[in-house]
Amino acid sequence: MFEDAIIKNINQYIQLNDIEANYFLSLLYPKTIKRKEYLLRPNEICKYESFITKGCLRSYTIDDAGLEHIVMFAVEEWWTGDLYSFLTQTPGNFIIDALEDTELLQISKDDLEKLYECVPKFERFFRLILQNAFVAQQQRINQNLSFTAEERYLHFIKKYPQLEQRLAQKQVAAYLGITPEFLSMIRRKLARK
């Protein structure tokens, strides 16, 4: 049951009693997105934070030359959305689409504010989630600035060992900031070692 997965995720950070858990679950909206469909289109306002119960999404931008730059992948038991757009309720910077058929549980900004008022410990939960996301983002920026492409790839497969099997080579390359051809060269080099 999807509700079990999200409550298990939350219980890693805060403990909920049955009344709090049921109230939280009552604020969630289930959503299904087919592969290649959008969760967030260019310049749309992000109206929900989404918890993935099944599937894989990617957040990315497209530059003026038409190249995709993948900022993150999100899989089961991860939260995703365009946080800037969600918090400011202004058009987003990112496109989010499904790489696999995906099932989500979503909470709106208004309902999240209600949740903070009625169950204040959720402020702690989302603060901890945001802190972890911020640390991960800083590490990723540092790696993009100071690691070689091979080091970035090795870090990616070490940190997300099952994810690489679920992604196309061009998606991994776009996440690493290299071409698919260069990623093939790296893989061949590593296979020879």
Spatial CB neighbours of 174, under 8 Å, sequence gap ≥ 6 = 60, 67, 68, 69, 70
Kindly report the backbone phi and psi dihedral angles of residue 54, in degrees, each rounded to the nearest multiple of 5, phi listed first: -160, 135
Percent of the chain residues past pLDDT 90, beyond the cut? 88
pLDDT digits (tens, 9 = 90+) for 132-174: 999 999 999 999 999 999 999 999 999 888 898 899 999 999 9
pLDDT digits (tens, 9 = 90+) for 19-36: 999 999 999 999 999 999
pLDDT band at residue 116 under the 50/70/90 scheme: very high
- CA torsion sign, 193 to 176 to 135 to 139? positive
Structure tokens at 30: 């289930």
Whether 3 shows a pLDDT value over 80: the answer reads no
Percent of the chain residues past pLDDT 70, beyond the cut? 99
Q: Which CATH class is domain 2-145?
A: mainly beta
The helix-helix angle for 169-176 and 180-192 (nearest 10°) equals 100
